[in-house]
Homo-oligomer: A and B are copies of this chain.
Amino acid sequence: MLDVMKDRITDIGPPDFKEYLPPAVKKNYGQWKYHEILEAGVLVHVAESGDKLYTVRCGSPRLVSTTSILFYTEIADKYCDGFLRFTSRHNVEFLTTEFDNVAKIKAEMTEYGNPVGGTGPSITSIVHTQGWVHCHSAATDASGVVKAVMDDLFEYFNEMKLPAKCRIALACCLNMCGAVHCSDIAILGIHTAYPRIDHENLNKLCEIPNISASCPTAAIRPATVDGKPSVELIEEQCMYCANCFTVCPAMPLADPVADGISLWVGGKVSNARSEPKFSKLAVPFIPNNPPRWPEVTSAIRKMVEVWAENARPYERMGEWIDRVGWPRFFKLTGFEFSKMHIDDFKYAGLSFKRSAQITHE
C-alpha cells in the first residue's frame, strides 16, 4: 500500500480536452458553418474556412471490452490521425477530413460489428444503465433488453425513414440512471412486489428514522417485531419505488415474477418546436422474459410503427400524440388503458382532460 501512496497525485481533474482535439477540429474550432447528413450515420461539417470534416457514427453496445476499444484505436490511427470521440448517447464517432475514408471506416467497423447510423430522423443508441450486469437495484437487465430492442429496430438505425428523431432510453429501476423520463420511448424496470423486511438484521444495517423518511407514501412505520426494533409496512400504500431499499439493504424488493418492464412514451428534451416534455405511461407492466423480451420489443415496434405511419414530418412521438390525442394513441397501438394510467401522484389533477376539446371517430 505504501508504495502506491508515494508521490500520489490527486485532484488533477480530467485531461485538458484541447490536447485531444483532432487537428481539423482545432483549426476550425467554433468556426463551423453548416452541416449535411450524407447518409445514415455520416455527417459532413463545413467550416467557414471551407474545410470539410466527415463524421462516421458507429453504434456501440456501450459495455465495451478493452479489446474492442483497442480495435477502435486502430481504425482511428488508420483514418483519423489518431483521434476519435464518443457521443452523448455512447456511440463512437470517427472524424476524418478525407471523404474517401468514410466508406473504409464504415466497412471496417461494420465488419467488426459496429454498424453505422443513428443520425437525423432515425433511432440512435439506447441510453441505458447497468441492470443485472452490475447493479443491486435492478428490476430488469439493461444491456440485454437494449440489444433485443435494437436488433428489432435496426432498420431505423441504419436508415433515416422516420418522421423525426426517436430517442429511446432504458433504466433498470425507478432511480432512472438513464434519465429516461424525457424520452420518446422509455423502458423502465419496475418492481411490483412489496419490500420483504429482514427484521432480523434491519436494525443492524439501517437507521429506522431514515427508512421511514425515505418512503414517498409514508407506508413505513417504526415497529418492534419479535422484540427487535424494526419497521412495518402498510401494504396498500406501497407503490414499489424501492426508495426504502436504496436507503436500507434489509428491505429488498427484487422478485423473479413480480419484476418487469414498463413502457413510457412521448417525452423529449430538445427545445425544438415544443418545450421539453416528460414521457407518459404506455404499458404498466411486462414480465421479464429474457433473453429477448419479445413482448417488450413488439410493443415498442408497435409504437414506432404507428407513429411513423401517422405523424407529420418533424413531429416527435410526443408532439404527434399531443396533436391527435391520447385516445388515438391507445386506439392505434391497441394497448390497454387502465386505472393505472390515470395519475394519482402530486400533480394528478392537472393530467385530467380539463376541456371539451375531444376527437370522435
| Contacts from A to B (Cβ < 8 Å) | 271, 275-276, 346-347, 349-350, 354-357
Give which listed residue, B275, B346, B347, B350, contacts A357 with CB less than 8 A: B275
Within the complex, what minimum Cβ distance (angstroms) separates A357 from chain B? 5
Give which listed residue, B271, B347, B354, B357, contacts A355 with CB less than 8 A: B271
Within the complex, what minimum Cβ distance (angstroms) separates A35 from chain B? 21
Interface of A is mostly: loop
Give which listed residue, B271, B346, B355, contacts A275 with CB less than 8 A: B355
User: In the complex, which residues of chain B have a beta carbon less than 8 angstroms from the beta carbon of A347?
Assistant: 347, 349-350
Q: Are B356 and A271 in contact (CB under 8 A)?
A: yes
Within the complex, what minimum Cβ distance (angstroms) separates A321 from chain B? 16
- A-B residue pairs, 9 tightest by C-beta: A275-B355, A271-B356, A271-B357, A271-B355, A276-B355, A275-B357, A347-B347, A347-B350, A276-B354
Number of copies: 2
Would you mind naming 13 contact pairs between A and B with Cβ atoms under 8 Å apart?
A271-B355, A271-B356, A271-B357, A275-B354, A275-B355, A275-B357, A276-B354, A276-B355, A346-B346, A347-B347, A347-B349, A347-B350, A350-B350
Instruction: Report Cα–Cα, A350/B142, bound state, in Å.
Output: 31
Instruction: Report Cα–Cα, A356/B271, bound state, in Å.
Output: 6
Within the complex, what minimum Cβ distance (angstroms) separates A354 from chain B? 7
Instruction: Report Cα–Cα, A276/B354, bound state, in Å.
Output: 8
Q: Which residue of B lies closest to A270 (CB)?
A: B356
Q: Which residue of B lies closest to A349 (CB)?
A: B347
Instruction: Report Cα–Cα, A347/B351, bound state, in Å.
Output: 12
User: In the complex, which residues of chain B have a beta carbon less than 8 angstroms from the beta carbon of A275?
Assistant: 354-355, 357
Beyond the given A271-B355, A276-B355, could you list 8 further A-B residue pairs with CB under 8 A, ordered by the A residue number?
A271-B357, A275-B354, A275-B355, A275-B357, A276-B354, A346-B346, A347-B349, A350-B350
User: In the complex, which residues of chain B have a beta carbon less than 8 angstroms from the beta carbon of A271?
Assistant: 355-357
Q: Which residue of B lies closest to A276 (CB)?
A: B355
Q: Which residue of B lies closest to A278 (CB)?
A: B354
Instruction: Report Cα–Cα, A135/B346, bound state, in Å.
Output: 35
Q: Which residue of B lies closest to A353 (CB)?
A: B275
Q: Which residue of B lies closest to A350 (CB)?
A: B347
Within the complex, what minimum Cβ distance (angstroms) separates A355 from chain B? 4
